[in-house]
Structures are given as C-alpha cells and as structure tokens.
Structure 1
C-alpha cells in the first residue's frame, strides 16, 4: 500500500538481480569471446573469421580489458531495456495507473473499468461497451493483480474476457470491418513482424477509435467490434 493505493511491481530482488546479473553475464560473454578468438580464428570453416582474427591480434592486457568493457556496456544496456519494459500497476479507488519507464503513463478511471482480467500475460481493463482501455503485457503475477484490484472494489473476472468468443482471425481484406480497419491491421501486421512496438501501439490506438479490439496469438491478429454490455456473456 502507498498513500491509500496498492502498487504491483517487479520485486526489488528481481530488479537487483537484473541490475547485477546482466552486467556480470555481459562481461563473462565478452571474456569468453576473447578467450576463444584465437581458437575460432584457426578454424577454416567457422563464420565471422575477420572479427575473430582481429580480436586474436590485440595484445594483452588490452584484449581482456576491452572484452570486459564491451561486455559491461552491453550488460548495462540490457539492464536499462529490461527495467524500462517492466510494468508497474498502481490501483486506487478512483483510477488505475499503468506505468513503464520507457512509455507514457496511462490512467484509466474507475468508472471506465467494467471488467478487469488477465489474458495470458496481458492485464486488460475493459469498459462497459467492451472497449479495452488497457491491454498491457507483463510478468506480474495474476494473483498479485487480482488482490490489488479486488481490494479496491474493481470487478475482477477470474475467468477472463467476457467477449473472448467474439474474436475472429484477421486475414487481409476481411469483410465485416469498419472502413480503414483492414489497412490498419495490415500495417500493424508489418509492424509486429518488425518488432516495432511503438508503431504497433499507434496503429492499435487508431483501431480502437474505429471500435475494433485486437489481440495477438502466435503472431496472428484476432479482432472483434465493441458491443453493448447486454451482449456480453
């Protein structure tokens, strides 16, 4: 609890493990590459002969120092990426706040949360008409999320999405979608293939404007339209 709110975040020990473990692992990999460079450079069939031969020619102690330094920098960059991607959920009586270091903070008012549930690794906050106000993937424990939301009176759905059976597999030029939705889904498919999360998120927001909700399973997009609460099962 923090100022009347419940915060669900990655445990401190996990953050410490990431902060220490990744740089150490990076340095170990760098040292391993340096140690194996001479051996690999002598194998005619091995790929990347040029870089390995170059590393093998660097005199000591500069080869070891350079390898450890490069590994350390790579590890620190991984730490920043990993911590930046971690989701923190703050549940208050009037709203829920979803925050990441490397993304804009999102706030959903309590009045807009008709259903809250997990869909795989995604936390979903759904409105009365089936519109998804948030769908955030994270490694947070569902039990911790459930406890936080129920403690503040949110309608947690243990069995998941009330509209789950309305999702349909999207294929190009599919009928039944609003004008422009097929083009947005096609563009988003390309963004997902390129792992362009920012572009995919932007396109998803445009689909939401059209009343199209989207979920991704095994790199395939599934869609449904928003509907009135009376049609939900």
Structure 2
C-alpha cells in the first residue's frame, strides 16, 4: 500500500503550507512494482493451473484446464500482458482512492476520488485517525471527509496541529455509535430506508452510491460508519 509524507513550503517568515502526498518512492512502488508483479503473476498462472489441474476436488476444472493449456509463447505473452494491464489499473486506482491533502492555517484542501474539496478551518471540529482512514468532522459532528492515508498518525498529528487544527487521538463521538439493526425504534423510518439502500450498495460494491447515501443519512440527522462489514450509526451532535 502507498505511504505518504508531508513537506512544508516556505512562506514569507515560516512554513505556512503543508502537503501530505505520495512520496517518490511510493509512486515507484505503485507505478513500477504493481505492473511488474502483474507480469510475474501472468507468467506463473498457466504453470499453476497445470499443477492444480490434477486435483480431484478442483472447482471450475474446465476453466483451469483451459488456462493451463496456454503454453505457446504468444499465449504466455498475452497472459503476461493481461497481468501488466491489471497491475497498472490497480496502481492508478490506488492513487485515485488515496487521500491527498494540502494544509494552510485557513483551510484543508482534500483531493480524492478525482475531486477536490476545500474545508475551512472554522468549519472543522475534529481530525483523527480511524484505522487507516483520516477523518475530518464538522461542527455538527458529521464527517466532512474520510479517506485512506498511510502516513503515520504522529506525522499527521504534527502537521495538523502545526496549523492549529483540532487533532484528536480518537473519534470523540465513538461511544455514541450503535450497530444498525433494521427496524429498531431508535431510528426514524427514513434513516432505516437509507441505511438499507446503503447496505445494498456496499454489497454490490458501489462505493459512489454508498458515499451518496451516507450524505443522505447525514441530512437525516445521523452519521454512519462501516466496521467489519456492518453499518454503525449515531445521531449528529453539535458543539
């Protein structure tokens, strides 16, 4: 997985801008390492298929036998090329999904999912790490931004605190989350309907729909997070 680092850019008197982004080493791992791994996997797959085809309990035997029969040089080249393409796709997806940040004393610029979001410091109530994710909460305790960021928590804390942002060691509202159970009376019917639709979006691997539905849940007065395949929900609480 890619890691990030932060660089401070000099201003008139002292550094006022901090970039949290991919390092050159991380980019080399993504753009060279993953495609190279794809090539090697493409080279190995026909051999593994031939080895596995002797198993008496092998599922999809016909498909495995077909792959194992790809032993001509041109066929091996096609499989390796497919592995290369898959590696490149994974590299670019990882780069697009990873959160990139630029901090100033006045705002946080978030680049993620091919879009840019600018958050004013005055609108931010808390910033913290949730596993591998960096989370920014607004004044109503709703998530303003969430995304995977591989920089160490200490480096993130240093960068945000240097610009005066309210860094927290953990989610200040974690105790309010409860696992969503359809039909429970503590949530209105509207929230249940949105969470059910979001559950379906997660099951069909539609992250954009899941994000849009999370925003709709927020507009209904609740925050939602995912943990081990389950949705957890809490009411929004203002400062």
TM-score grouping bracket, smaller chain normalisation: 0.7 to 0.9
**Equivalent in 45, 58, 62 of residue 33 of structure 1:** 45
User: What does 1:39-54 correspond to in 2, within 5 Å?
Assistant: 39-41=51-53, 45-54=57-66
Distance in 2 (alpha carbons) for counterparts of 1:59 and 1:186: 48
List gaps (5 residues or longer) in structure 2.
1-7
- Which residue does 1:98 correspond to in 2? 110
Note if contact 2:70-2:76 (Cα within 8 Å) is conserved in structure 1.
no
**Equivalent in 124, 134, 153 of residue 164 of structure 2:** 153
Distance in 1 (alpha carbons) for counterparts of 2:159 and 2:85: 37
- Which residue does 1:81 correspond to in 2? 93
- Which residue does 1:132 correspond to in 2? 143
Superposition TM-score, scaled by structure 1 size: 0.86
The answer to whether structure 1 residue 188 and structure 2 residue 198 are counterparts is: yes
**Equivalent in 18, 22, 37 of residue 10 of structure 1:** 22
Note if contact 2:129-2:135 (Cα within 8 Å) is conserved in structure 1.
yes
The answer to whether structure 1 residue 114 and structure 2 residue 133 are counterparts is: no
Note if contact 1:170-1:221 (Cα within 8 Å) is conserved in structure 2.
yes
The answer to whether structure 1 residue 217 and structure 2 residue 227 are counterparts is: yes
Note if contact 1:40-1:49 (Cα within 8 Å) is conserved in structure 2.
no
Note if contact 2:46-2:71 (Cα within 8 Å) is conserved in structure 1.
no
Instruction: Let me know the Cα RMSD of the aligned residues.
Output: 2.2
Tell me by how many angstroms 1:68 deviates.
1.9
Distance in 1 (alpha carbons) for counterparts of 2:175 and 2:226: 14
**Equivalent in 59, 63, 77 of residue 65 of structure 1:** 77
Distance in 1 (alpha carbons) for counterparts of 2:214 and 2:155: 27
- Which residue does 1:206 correspond to in 2? 216
